[in-house]
Amino acid sequence: MSENTNNTRLNFQGTYEFLADAGGRVQFPAKWRPAEEVTLSVMYWKDEGQVHPSLLVLQRHTVQKMEDKLESMSFSDPKAQSLRRLLGGDSDDLRLDPTGRIRLPERLATKAKLGKGVVLVGMFDRFQIWSAELYKDIQAVDEVLRPEAVKLI
């Protein structure tokens, strides 16, 4: 497969539970697999409303928008510098191996409290990777937020 140069947009829907192997490799859902090789970006993520940390996986076009925004921020603004370090230092690239697995960077997986069981949750243009054990708490929060969240559409 050749490197993705045309910004193919992938669609991530559904929730999948997998076991990570000893090398930190996790099966990638067959429905999500692109026809050509793509590079995805993975970053540690824990925003204000999140009970537990996760890994957020973004497509190249989304990362480019983020990089453009970061680049436009002042180099002398301490908050912008902190954001650059936080996002840049806690991110890495992901590629599918020939058997359809992704290798989770060990440092990021540890920081996100990922164990052997992981849950991949599609979010249409991106997806999250959660500890299977901790994801139950996130589902409970989502159900509480559901009535207000659906009003956003």
Which two three-digit tokens encode residue 123? 């979010």
CA–CA separation, 19 and 104 (whole Å)? 12
Please report, for the chain, the start and end positions of each structural domain, with discontinuous segments joined by +: 15-152
Which residues sit opposite 101 in a β-bridge? 27
Q: Which of 99, 116, 96, 98 shows the shortest CA–CA distance to 42?
A: 96
Secondary element (H or E) of residue 82: helix 78-89
Q: Which of 118, 106, 93 shows the shortest CA–CA distance to 43?
A: 93
Tell me the CA distances in angstroms from 62 to 29, 42, 58, one per residue in order.
21, 12, 6
- Would you write out the chain's pLDDT as a tens digit for each of its 153 residues? 334 444 678 999 999 999 999 999 999 999 999 989 999 999 999 988 788 999 999 999 999 999 999 999 999 999 999 999 999 999 999 999 999 999 999 999 999 999 999 999 999 999 999 999 999 999 999 999 999 999 999
Strands (E), the chain: 15-19, 25-27, 40-45, 54-58, 91-94, 101-103, 117-122, 126-131
Which residues sit opposite 103 in a β-bridge? 25
Are the beta carbons of 80 and 73 closer than 8 angstroms? yes
Q: What CATH number has the domain spanning 15-152? A: 3.40.1550.20
